Structure 1
Amino acid sequence: MEQRRYIILGISGSLRKRSSNTRLLSFIEQLLPEGTEFRQFDGLAALPHFNPDIDGVEAEVHDKVREWRLNVQEADAVVICTPEYARGVPGSLKNALDWVVSSGEFVSKPTAIISASPHADGGAAALASLKLTLTMMTADLPEHASLAIPYISKIIEQDGSVSEPHMVSLLCKLVRSLLQAVSSK
């Protein structure tokens, strides 16, 4: 019997080209078991501002919104890795999430959430805000699949590798928890 291949969608809350959060997603991809497909969605900047007046009107929904929804829909699980801006979730990430509230792509979707920050709290306020939003959207947030990473610039290398063994261990635990949630569906 052939084992089912899982699709994991990575979403960086940062639009910066050399973002620590985006590089961290690339490291997480390396932690996934063979046969798992990792797709990184990089279209947050192309999404129009959320407008509930056109959200339910298929003819008016932007092509980039359809693409975003399809990416989430096709994924078996999602990993969101975000910085913290002004003690919250970056606007581009929140905008993307607003586009999938009513369409329901995150309903029961196993989702891991990470905030990574150069500050001591690791972006804990952004992580709490993201968790609140995803809980309202009824995403499946597995135990041990939430992590705030402080001092990210000290532990992530230019190639995206993580140099701190304890953090690698925590990321492996996060990946195991997420995959366990996927396999139990």
Structure 2
Amino acid sequence: MWNVLGICGSLRRNSYSSGLLRAADRARPDITVLGAELAGRLPLFNPDLDDEALLPDAAREFRACADRCDGIIIATPEYAHGPSGATKNAMDWLVGSSGLAGKPTLLMSSSPGQAGGMRGHLALIPTLTLMGSVLVDSVTISGAPARTDGRGDFTDPDVAQRVELALREMSAALVRSERKASQALLR
């Protein structure tokens, strides 16, 4: 059983991003998505507070969840051809921790348009690489309104299949990550 931190980059109730995280949580019995609500509770990143004695409780809880989890799923909307401010803020709070280092990381997005939010991923890749994430194949879903039930839950079986395929790859990456960590301990 694997626990992954779900980072929801949308603060909107019934967002497509939260719907993608719920779909990911249902996709595989060996992967549980935790902490999807935590990114929305983070204050704006302030380097003056990035000190153990001053760290806000929400940031402390978010970092602890990232540290405990085996992997990360980031579901972010695309705003102005980039990730949402909430997504970027969450990444900024994780820079001062080792929460992403060596962990499989899946990017997911959806949008009403034809690009499916993929431009929001592009700005995240250099940051995630710098932080040591191991990226797995991403998921982008276009035409989101026609594929959901109005509450942000995806009802299109093609979306469920795409999410399941991505989570299958995530599961394989988690196994590889665990083997690598085990081999490092034996040395």
TM over 0.5: same fold?
yes
Measure how far apart 1:179 and its partner are: 0.6
- In the alignment, which of 76, 83, 86 is matched to residue 82 of structure 1? 76
Residue 168 of structure 1 corresponds to 160
Once residues 133 and 139 of structure 2 are traced to their aligned partners in structure 1, the CA distance between those partners, rounded to angstroms, is 16
Residue 43 of structure 2 corresponds to 48
Residue 24 of structure 1 corresponds to 20
Residues 113 and 131, structure 1, Cα contact 8 Å, conserved in 2: no
Measure how far apart 1:160 and its partner are: 5.2
Question: Structure 1 vs Structure 2: percent identity of aligned residues?
Answer: 34
Equivalent residues in 2 for 1:122-133, closer than 5 Å? 122-133=116-127
SS at match of 1:176: helix
Residues 25 and 33, structure 2, Cα contact 8 Å, conserved in 1: yes
Residue 62 of structure 2 corresponds to 68
Give every structure 1 segment of 4 or more consecutive aligned residues whose post-TM-superposition deviation is greater than 3 Å: 158-166
Letter of the structure 1 residue corresponding to residue 98 of structure 2: G
Equivalent residues in 2 for 1:85-164, closer than 5 Å? 85-142=79-136, 144=137, 146-158=138-150, 161-164=153-156
Residues 72 and 106, structure 2, Cα contact 8 Å, conserved in 1: yes
SS at match of 2:83: coil
Once residues 74 and 180 of structure 1 are traced to their aligned partners in structure 2, the CA distance between those partners, rounded to angstroms, is 19
- Please give the per-residue CA displacement for 1:13-61, whole angstroms capped at 9, x wherever unaligned: 100111111012112211112x543314212232122122331x21111
Q: Which runs of 5+ in 1 are unaligned?
A: none
Distance 1:80 1:61, change over 3 A: same
Measure how far apart 1:76 and its partner are: 0.8
- Name the TM-score, length of structure 1 as normaliser: 0.87
- In the alignment, which of 162, 170, 174 is matched to residue 182 of structure 1? 174
Residues 9 and 40, structure 2, Cα contact 8 Å, conserved in 1: no
- Name the TM-score, length of structure 2 as normaliser: 0.86
Q: Alpha carbon RMSD of aligned pairs, Å?
A: 1.7
